[in-house]
Amino acid sequence: GAVVSQHPSRVICKSGTSVKIECRSLDFQATTMFWYRQFPKQSLMLMATSNEGSKATYEQGVEKDKFLINHASLTLSTLTVTSAHPEDSSFYICSARVVGQSNEKLFFGSGTQLSVL
Amino acid sequence: GDSVTQMEGPVTLSEEAFLTINCTYTATGYPSLFWYVQYPGEGLQLLLKATKADDKGSNKGFEATYRKETTSFHLEKGSVQVSDSAVYFCALSGAGGTSYGKLTFGQGTILTVHP
């Protein structure tokens, strides 16, 4: 089946540094990419939606200048956490939407655990 | 706004036991309902779904019925296996094609099945 490759799976960084997370669709073209995050014991929360070649749409309460999303091609989307702080420590996961002939499908990456010291 | 409340875990069962993971939701209109499963080190995978009231989704021995009257979508399996150990997420997608993919998730339930 279709695969979304997400890297890195785990990253530890110092406060104030920036971290880039990549999601690649390996054998299909993703028209839309969704980015979620999950704090411990809480739900996965949608952060933003990005369509290839256009600016991302952020959910209420998500800082667009802090969480930079780039979706420059149909197979690659990146999330950059700028000037990370300990409160940004979370599990981040992407999902790609594919529009087929008869239906739409979603495929998820395996997630990135970010720890900011 | 939309919300999903999922049974808290972790859930620990012996092989061949009966599994129920409760899920209730709050949403306007007629959402689609999903169960996703995440095995260790892998991405979330769609386990089953139901798109309208009284629909039953089923896959790999798991079942869930869309109950509009109780706003529930409980996951069940009659006889679990060790290989079912994973994290299970209940989710909904708002009505309308443009909102497909914008999922509202429950917090996930960790299931561990012992031999």
pLDDT tens digits for B21-59? 999 999 988 889 999 999 988 888 899 999 899 999 999
Of the candidates B43, B103, B107, which has its C-beta nearest A41's C-beta? B107
Instruction: Check pLDDT > 80 for residue A102.
Output: no
Average pLDDT, chain A: 89
Structure tokens belonging to residue B59: 């896959």
Minimum Cα–Cα distance from A113: chain B residue: B41
Instruction: Check pLDDT > 80 for residue A101.
Output: no
Distance CA B64, CA B110 (A): 18
Residues of B in contact with A37 (CB under 8 A): none
Across the interface, whether the CB atoms of B43 and A6 are under 8 A apart is answered yes
* Residue B93 neighbours by CB distance under 10 Å: 21
Distance CA A12, CA B84 (A): 30
Kindly calculate the radius of gyration of chain A based on its CA atoms and give it in whole angstroms.
14
Minimum Cα–Cα distance from A107: chain B residue: B45
Mean pLDDT of B93-108: 75
pLDDT band at residue B8 using 50, 70 and 90 as cut-offs: confident
Chain A contact for B42 (CB, 8 A cutoff)? yes
- Are A54 and A11 in contact, with CB atoms under 8 Å apart? no
Residue B68: closest CA among B19, B21, B31:
B31
Q: Give pLDDT, residue A106.
A: 84
Partners of A115 in the β-ladder: A12
Pairing of strands A76-81, A19-25: antiparallel
Chain B contact for A44 (CB, 8 A cutoff)? yes
Q: Give pLDDT, residue A46.
A: 92
Chain-centroid distance, C-alpha B75? 5
User: If you write DSSP's letter for every residue of A55-105 in order, what string do you get?
Assistant: --EEPTT--TTTEEEEEEETTEEEEEE-S--GGG-EEEEEEEEEE-SS-EE
User: If you write DSSP's letter for every residue of B69-100 in order, what string do you get?
Assistant: TTTB--EEESS--GGG-EEEEEEEE-SSGGGT
Chain-centroid distance, C-alpha B41? 19
Across the interface, whether the CB atoms of A44 and B105 are under 8 A apart is answered yes
Residue A46: closest CA among B102, B2, B1:
B102
Express each pLDDT in A5-50 by its tens digit.
Answer: 999 999 999 999 999 999 998 888 888 899 999 888 788 899 999 9
Helix (H), strand (E) at residue A51: strand A44-51
Q: Give pLDDT, residue A2.
A: 67
Residues of B in contact with A95 (CB under 8 A): 44, 101, 103
